[in-house]
């Protein structure tokens, strides 16, 4: 297969990578293995991981507990259809998720990725209203959001900072409130909720659900907003009896310093979407969790059921790793680690704000974001980071760090020093 061309050439010519051109692809590096927070490239260069493989690998790579879970499960059964069967690992996982989320959330729908969890949550809300005899097609969300790359998810991503422009003619048109301006630690300004309040009131009878990322908006702008905003959103949803979907796919499982970001606001969603670090970043799996009331109303519809059923729903391997992941989290050691990372980020990165290349620095939990004034040349900056022994992958004007929670001080220093030297 690789006789005439090298692996590098084959990759460039035949393999599509995320958000990349097949004509002028971004540079791609050959990786051999990963352990802890160290990524080993094919030429034996070691990189400290600052990305947790897009918010997912919270306990590091090649983790012995997660490895053991998958090895044990693979001997029993890698996969079995979920239609007509149940198994120990899926039941254990659903029970674990019910135990760590608000008591109102009791019914778990397992699926295969974050985007699919969003599709499921949207479909649940549409079917809920249909079952109640009302036709509601609109979704209210906020600008700068990101919820995935499938069609339903794309339709609620930020209209500018996303693929909206390319696909907008094919997407259902939804309602976008201004994104929150009030920052996490600032004094709450009641005016911040005005745009959302106006729109929810105006379209209340057309809106099936509200969807947003709690506290931290990810790929749509990497913004961290005031917990009071989310509290007001929840109150308004209750007032107008509109379902609230929280997308915790990126923020869930400790990343913001709380197990779930909605805890910063003390609110309870009607539907909760989880993914990414649900399996400690080992495998793709998602969960959409809702209340008994919503699931019963949906089940009372003409169809008599919720119309979704992915092939790999409840995959035993993924469920077993997710259970092992939750066991690690259950020890609560992550709380201290995430706090440590947050404090260290604050101490070392906040002084960079003096740089005339930086517009803003935002830090919460094990997340730090540097917003630059000018757009970043990704190929160039990636090379710079690799030469400095770190894996950091910026986009637009955003350079961000979200390392695995297990990162040690020396490793964190390598990551941070590479950023500091970039702005010297």
Q: Which of 52, 63, 101, 115 binds ligand PLP (CB under 6 A)?
A: 115
Candidates 147, 197, 337, 362; binder of ligand PLP (CB under 6 A) is: 147
Query: In this chain, which stretch among 111-119, 128-136, 173-181, 396-404 interacts with ligand PLP, using CB under 6 A?
Result: 111-119
Starting at the edge strand found earlier in the chain, the sheet holding 367-372 runs: 358-364, 367-372, 398-401
* 19 included as an active-site residue: yes
> Are the CB atoms for 138 and 203 separated by under 8 Å?
yes
Kindly tell me which residue out of 60, 126, 131, 148 binds ligand PLP, with binding defined by CB under 6 A: 148
Q: Do residues 165 and 146 make contact, with C-beta atoms less than 8 angstroms apart?
A: no
Which residue in the list 247, 258, 262, 344 is annotated as catalytic?
247
Residue 117 or 228: the one with the smaller Cβ distance to ligand PLP is: 117
Strands 271-274 and 367-372: unpaired
Give the one residue of 146, 229, 260, 385 binding ligand PLP; rule: CB under 6 A. Answer: 146
Count CB-CB contacts under 10 A for residue 299: 14
Decide if 175 contacts 187 (C-beta within 8 A): no
SS3 call for 361: strand
* Per annotation, catalytic residue among 19, 198, 296, 375: 19
**Residue 247 engages ligand PLP in binding (rule: CB under 6 A):** yes
Angle between helices 114-131 and 292-299 (to 10 degrees): 60
C-alpha separations of 364 from 78, 251, 350, 400, 410 in Å: 37, 11, 12, 12, 21
x-or-dash string of contact with ligand PLP, 49-88, rule CB under 6 A:
-----x----------------------------------
Radius of gyration of the chain (CA): 22
Please give the span between the terminal C-alpha atoms of the chain, in angstroms, as a whole number: 46
Nearer to ligand PLP, 18 or 133 (CB): 18
Q: Give the bridge partners for 47, in sequence order.
A: 39
3-state helix, strand, coil in the chain (%, to 5): 40, 20, 40
Least separation in angstroms between residue 140's CB and ligand PLP is 17
What phi and psi, each to the nearest 5 degrees, are found at residue 217?
Answer: -90, 130
Q: Which one of the spans 26-34, 169-177, 211-219, 412-420 is the region binding ligand PLP (CB under 6 A)?
A: 211-219
CB of 56 to ligand PLP, least distance (A): 8
219 binds ligand PLP (CB under 6 A): yes
Cα separation, 50 vs 54, in Å, equals 9
Among candidate residues 61, 128, 146, 229, the one labeled active-site is: 146
* 146 included as an active-site residue: yes
Stretch that binds ligand PLP, among 1-9, 44-52, 246-254, 261-269 (CB under 6 A): 246-254
List C-alpha distances in Å: 341 to 205, 265, 277, 404: 44, 22, 18, 10
Quote the least distance from Cβ 55 to ligand PLP, whole Å: 6
> Least distance (Å) from ligand PLP to the CB of residue 146?
5
Q: Which stretch binds ligand PLP (CB under 6 A): 40-48, 93-101, 225-233, 245-253?
A: 245-253
- Of 115 and 125, nearer to ligand PLP (C-beta) is 115
- Coil, strand, or helix at residue 271? strand
For the question of residue 135 being annotated catalytic, the response is no
| Contact set for ligand PLP, span 261-290 (CB under 6 A) | 275
* Comparison of 216 and 294: residue with beta carbon closer to ligand PLP: 216
Residue closer to ligand PLP, measured from CB, 57 or 416:
57
Chain centroid to CA 369: 15
Q: Is residue 250 involved in binding ligand PLP (CB under 6 A)?
A: yes
State which H helix or E strand residue 119 sits in: helix 114-131
Shortest CB 248 distance to ligand PLP, Å: 8
Active-site residues: which are they? 19, 146, 247, 276
Residues that bind ligand PLP (CB under 6 A): 54, 113-115, 118, 146-148, 213, 218-219, 247, 249-250, 275
């Amino acid at each position: 297969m690789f006789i005439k061309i090298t692996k590098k050439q084959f990759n460039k010519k035949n393999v599509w990578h995320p958000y990349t051109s097949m004509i002028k692809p971004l540079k791609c590096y050959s990786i051999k293995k990963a352990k802890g927070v160290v990524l080993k490239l094919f030429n034996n260069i070691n990189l400290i991981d600052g990305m947790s493989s897009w918010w997912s690998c919270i306990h590091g790579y090649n983790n012995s507990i997660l490895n053991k879970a998958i090895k044990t499960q693979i001997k029993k059964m890698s996969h079995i259809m979920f239609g007509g069967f149940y198994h120990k690992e899926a039941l254990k996982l659903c029970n674990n998720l019910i135990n760590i989320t608000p008591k109102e959330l009791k019914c778990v729908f397992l699926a295969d990725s974050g985007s699919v969890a969003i599709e499921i949550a949207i479909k649940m809300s549409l079917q809920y209203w249909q079952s109640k005899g009302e036709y509601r097609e609109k979704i209210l969300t906020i600008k700068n959001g990101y919820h995935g790359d499938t069609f339903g998810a794309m339709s609620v991503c930020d209209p500018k900072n996303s693929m909206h422009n390319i696909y907008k003619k094919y997407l259902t048109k939804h309602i976008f409130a201004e994104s929150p301006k009030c920052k996490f630690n600032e004094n709450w300004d009641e005016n911040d909720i005005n745009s959302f309040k106006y729109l929810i009131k105006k379209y209340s009878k057309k809106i099936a659900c509200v969807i947003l990322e709690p506290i931290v908006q990810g790929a749509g702008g990497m913004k961290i907003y005031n917990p009071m905003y989310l509290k007001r959103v929840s109150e308004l949803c209750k007032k107008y009896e509109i379902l609230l979907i929280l997308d915790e796919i990126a923020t869930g499982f400790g990343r913001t310093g709380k197990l779930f970001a909605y805890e910063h606001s003390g609110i309870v969603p009607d539907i909760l979407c989880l993914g990414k670090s649900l399996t400690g970043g080992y495998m793709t799996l998602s969960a959409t969790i809702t209340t008994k009331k919503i699931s019963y109303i949906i089940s009372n519809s003409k169809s008599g059921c919720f119309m979704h059923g992915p092939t790999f729903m409840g995959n035993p391997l993924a469920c077993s790793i997710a259970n092992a992941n939750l066991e690690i989290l259950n020890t609560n050691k992550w709380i201290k680690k995430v706090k440590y990372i947050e404090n260290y980020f604050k101490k070392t990165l906040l002084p960079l704000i003096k740089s005339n290349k930086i517009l803003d620095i935002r830090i919460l939990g094990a997340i730090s974001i540097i917003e630059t004034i000018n757009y970043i040349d990704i190929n160039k900056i990636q090379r710079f980071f690799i030469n400095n022994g770190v894996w950091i992958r910026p986009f637009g004007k955003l350079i961000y760090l979200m390392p695995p929670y297990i990162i040690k001080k020396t490793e964190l220093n390598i990551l941070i020093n590479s950023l500091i030297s970039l702005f010297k």
